Amino acid sequence: MLDLAGVSDNRTLEGTARGWSTPQPCFPAMTIHRTGTANPVIAIDEVDKAGASRRNGDPLATLLTMIERSTAKCFFDKCLLAPIDLSHVNWILTANDIDRLPMTLRSRLDIVHVDRPDAAHFDVLLANMLCDLATRLELPIDDLPSIPKMIDQRIRSRFARHRSVRALARDIEAAIATLIRFTPRRTH
């Protein structure tokens, strides 16, 4: 996954040419190399928040050449100094506001609208967030403390009012951090 929020030049996608102190192939070429497949799935997050730069290249214009099959087929990589075929790469782009995307890019996308989760999604979100948290902490999920009913209800109520996944993640992490801090360690 590549986050374009706040990215104001195309080097993140296009790489850097030879001659720079740290030349780097384009992101899709590195992904193809890393995965060992010519058709990886590349997720670009927050594509609507990418800024355009007149000095160092527009990341959305670069993305357009990478997803347009005719130009992707012979995309010239300035680090490799060779054309590479990116036409088999699968792209998933996320955006909060598609109106901020240029029409030239939107016209080449199959747009799927996803509604914000509601209270009915709470249990699934909680389970996935706890699993992600355990992975980040390098712990088995069973080693995370159980969230007491009173705290669970408070988090659940707050989520039902605001429906913010980010706020939910922060609430869960804060609850688990507090519980870890105040839960006596098990001795074996």
Could you tell me the residue ranges of all domains in the chain? 2-106, 119-182
CB 13 within 8 Å of CB 62:
yes
Q: What percent of the chain has pLDDT over 90?
A: 73
Alpha carbon distance 169, 66 (integer Å): 33
Place of tokens 């801090």: 181
Alpha carbon distance 112, 128 (integer Å): 22
Pairing of strands 90-93, 41-45: parallel
* Span 16-53, pLDDT tens digits: 888 878 899 999 999 999 999 999 999 999 999 987 66
In three-state form (DSSP H/G/I as H, E/B as E, the rest C), the secondary structure along 160-180 is HHHCCHHHHHHHHHHHHHHHH
Q: How many CB atoms lie within 10 A of CB 59?
A: 24
Q: Check whether 94 has a pLDDT greater than 70.
A: yes
Question: DSSP strand E in 31-96: where?
Answer: 41-45, 75-77, 82-84, 90-93
Tokens of 117: 């989760």
Alpha carbon distance 46, 49 (integer Å): 5
Q: Residue 50 has what DSSP assignment?
A: P
Task: Provide the pLDDT confidence category of residue 7 given band limits of 50, 70 and 90.
Answer: confident
Alpha carbon distance 104, 64 (integer Å): 8
Tokens of 109: 């996308």
Task: Provide the pLDDT confidence category of residue 188 given band limits of 50, 70 and 90.
Answer: low
CB 96 within 8 Å of CB 87:
no
13, amino acid identity: L
* Span 54-73, pLDDT tens digits: 667 788 989 999 999 999 99
